Amino acid sequence: MLCPECGAEMNHHADKVDYNAALEEPGLIDPDFGGVVEEAHTCPACGRSEVRAAREGAS
């Protein structure tokens, strides 16, 4: 994932399961976890943090 701020490649450093997001975005639920798996990314260049649903950006 590229940083939306400066375009650097962001580091994927953590995953979490969001059960509240699952209520809002049922299409993104991972059946193995029973919630939406989110990936936390941090930019090494500018320090920006981004969280996105793992299933959104499977590329």
Tokens 């969001």, located at residue: 18
- Separation CA 43–CA 31 (nearest Å): 29
CB of 49 to Zn ion, least distance (A): 10
Query: What's the rounded Cα separation, in Å, for the pair 29 and 21?
Result: 9
One of 45, 49, 52, 57 touching Zn ion (CB under 5 A): 45
**Binding pattern for the stretch 4-23 against Zn ion, x by CB under 5 A and - elsewhere:** -xx-x---------------
Site residues, Zn ion (CB under 5 A)? 3, 5-6, 8, 43, 45-46, 48
